[in-house]
Structure 1
Amino acid sequence: MKCLIVFGLIVALFGAFVGYGYVVFTDLTKPLPKPEFKDDTYWGPGDAKDFVPDEKIYEFKLQVPQSEIDDLRKELNRTLRLTEPLDGIAFEYGFNTYALEQFVDYWRDNYLTKWNERQELFNSFKQYKTEIQGLNIHYIHEKVSEEAKEKKHVYPLLLLHGWPGSVREFFDFIPMLTKHSNITDYAFEVVAPSLVGYGWSDAATRPGFNAAEMATVMRNLMLRLGHKKFFIQGG
């Protein structure tokens, strides 16, 4: 009799354990609720009530005056003496000042001396600005070549650079995506924006701008360009 009682208790406990496990498993694996957020939140300066939307698209070219380049070079020559890092330490306690000195030297003595070449390369791509949710968004927009348009399936492609990063990451292969090739039967219409707060795109003026809000701005940009469906590459 005692054996039957013990066996019954074991079965009951096992059943309770399985039942509890099933409830937990079901709760953990059920579909998450669809996130709710507005697709027109105003992130620009001032009061949203005073905001007048501007849906026009404006051409953009990078034009940095030589006076600003000269001033930056002078500022880089006036850098303070940096504190030496701890012995045997790389970046564990922050940015390594030995590496920072090398970056400053390269920036001043190499990068800036070739600025005109770099600016010309940048301006070799078709670039624009348009206002999305109160923010001026900069983007490269390269359409497929005429030859590719006649022979290929054309798909819109949104290229998103890293955090941090810039559209410079895409310069080398944008032409590969838009030009005719015998390897594939498709080509891409490329849109490569500067993310909000990066490059020549405005930064949000109030807290709360997260990854979901960034995605909303990017989607609204593609809608502005006439694309409801598109491929995405994330940096």
Structure 2
Amino acid sequence: MTSSPDLRPFRVSIPQSDLDDLHDRLDRTRWPAELPGAGWEYGVPTPYLRELARYWRHEYDWRAAEALLNAWPQFTTTIDGARVHFAHVRSAEPDATPLVLTHGWPGSIVEFLDVVGPLTDPAAHGGDPADAFHVVLPSIPGFGFSGPTTEPGWEAGRVADAWAELMRRLGYERFGVQGGDWGAAISREVGRAHPGRVIGVHLNLLPGAQQATEPTAAELAALSPEEQAHTWDSWRRWEAWTKESTGYAVLQCTRPHTPGYALTDSPVGQLAWIVEKFREWTDSEELPEEAVDRDRLLCNVMLYWLTGTAASSARIYYERAHATGPRATAPTEPSTAPTALALFPAEPQRPLRHKADRTEHIVRWTEFDRGGHFAAMEEPDLLVGDVRAFFRQLREKSAR
């Protein structure tokens, strides 16, 4: 099915000279003076980052990671003037459901290494063959092998239209979408802008559905006691988030190129910029490796470093912050696309059901007791199970 002349086969093959350059830069890192006793509240602690950089330099095996990625059939194509890189993993099940998985920032297609097998071949992973998917994994324009972009304007709505075109080129008239972080914003927009083609939208984050102001008595009076508790929890998370955790977003929304110089020149700088978010947004107590495998974390960092896409990936924040037109404003009417939301407890932005119902057609709402922002990496079994259950629910309803 991947036979369009617009699609070009792609294989990850990083020149050894690029790896030698990385190792040389790691060897010559200029470390800042350490503040004794400083913890994560100041940023990534120096002792931790020194050890992680040592491991990256001397023990991490990029060629092994490259082989993992190359187990997927990969392609590039040009859509709306941008190079789009994607993996396309078809199921052996002929009636499998086409499904687009979209990563976010600071993620990549590496997020999905543990879910593609169970999604495409459920029988081999203890599941029902009827729950099989043909999986498409695109890199967002500006990210990884889809970057860097060469013109402005690549915000979530434009990416959503590109995904609809990509699926047309692959021969999929109807398909499902799944994503978290920017992948959630893009997936939701695909369902909103192309409802006739989208079977269902599965999200593990819902932008704009959190409590962004302190709840008033009048606001709470209309809610059940359980939803009142969720509203207070969402507000406390949002308050802490905006006070302590949004510095990266302010920079990327306003001056993405300025930090991009440092991150493109210093591998340790790029490492720190990303690993901080994996520590803050995962279901971990102290170190991100409690939630995400260290080699997978470094593989994800490598896709930013080797492609020089620190600045171009950050531009999606700027483009959304400066977007104009109907897509730049909050939706005023619910989407018509059936939507599922999977909630993982360590997600910093807790969505609320009564807010989600204003903008989405929610047909499934699942709350888990573990996991965080990077659900596909942290709890792949839980995410796969919920994706299967959601699309099974839609199939059964359609059959009635």
Same fold (TM over 0.5): yes
Structure 2 unaligned blocks of 5 or more:
181-400
Change (3 A) 1:229 1:110: same
Once the two structures are TM-superposed, the CA of residue 97 in structure 1 deviates from its matched residue by: 3.5
Q: Are 1:197 and 2:142 matched, yes or no?
A: yes
Give the equivalent residue in structure 1 for 2:164: 219
Query: 3-state SS of the aligned residue for 1:128?
Result: strand
C-alpha RMSD of the superposition = 2.2
Task: Check conservation: 2:82, 2:150, Cα contact below 8 A.
Answer: no
C-alpha distance in 2 between matches for 1:85 and 1:221:
49
Give the equivalent residue in structure 1 for 2:52: 103
Task: Check conservation: 2:141, 2:154, Cα contact below 8 A.
Answer: no
Query: 3-state SS of the aligned residue for 2:154?
Result: coil
Query: 3-state SS of the aligned residue for 1:100?
Result: helix
> Counterpart of 1:103 in structure 2: which amino acid?
L
User: 5 Å matches for 1:27-46?
Assistant: none
Once the two structures are TM-superposed, the CA of residue 205 in structure 1 deviates from its matched residue by: 2.7
Give the equivalent residue in structure 1 for 2:62: 115
| Structure number having the greater helix percentage | 2
C-alpha distance in 2 between matches for 1:68 and 1:210:
30
Q: 2:6 aligns with which of 56, 63, 87?
A: 56
Once the two structures are TM-superposed, the CA of residue 202 in structure 1 deviates from its matched residue by: 2.3
User: 5 Å matches for 1:116-195?
Assistant: 116-145=63-92, 148-149=93-94, 153-179=95-121, 181=123, 183-184=127-128, 185-195=130-140
Task: Check conservation: 1:158, 1:191, Cα contact below 8 A.
Answer: yes
Change (3 A) 1:68 1:107: same
Change (3 A) 1:208 1:136: closer
C-alpha distance in 2 between matches for 1:223 and 1:200:
21
C-alpha distance in 1 between matches for 2:22 and 2:158:
34
Once the two structures are TM-superposed, the CA of residue 215 in structure 1 deviates from its matched residue by: 1.5
Give the equivalent residue in structure 1 for 2:25: 75
C-alpha distance in 1 between matches for 2:41 and 2:47:
10
> Counterpart of 2:64 in structure 1: which amino acid?
E
> Counterpart of 2:131 in structure 1: which amino acid?
Y
Structure 1 residue runs of 4+, over 6 Å off? none
Give the TM-score, by structure 2 length: 0.40
Once the two structures are TM-superposed, the CA of residue 86 in structure 1 deviates from its matched residue by: 6.8
C-alpha distance in 2 between matches for 1:126 and 1:56:
16
Change (3 A) 1:234 1:79: same
> Counterpart of 1:128 in structure 2: which amino acid?
F
C-alpha distance in 1 between matches for 2:177 and 2:131:
16
Once the two structures are TM-superposed, the CA of residue 108 in structure 1 deviates from its matched residue by: 0.8
Give the TM-score, by structure 1 length: 0.67
Query: 3-state SS of the aligned residue for 2:30?
Result: coil
Q: Which has the higher contact order (CA 8 A, sep 6+)?
A: 1
Once the two structures are TM-superposed, the CA of residue 143 in structure 1 deviates from its matched residue by: 0.6
Task: Check conservation: 1:129, 1:138, Cα contact below 8 A.
Answer: yes
> Counterpart of 1:58 in structure 2: which amino acid?
R
Change (3 A) 1:91 1:216: farther
C-alpha distance in 2 between matches for 1:161 and 1:127:
16
Give the equivalent residue in structure 1 for 2:151: 206
Once the two structures are TM-superposed, the CA of residue 89 in structure 1 deviates from its matched residue by: 4.1
Query: 3-state SS of the aligned residue for 2:85?
Result: strand
Change (3 A) 1:85 1:232: farther
Structure 1 unaligned blocks of 5 or more:
1-53
Give the equivalent residue in structure 2 for 1:32: none
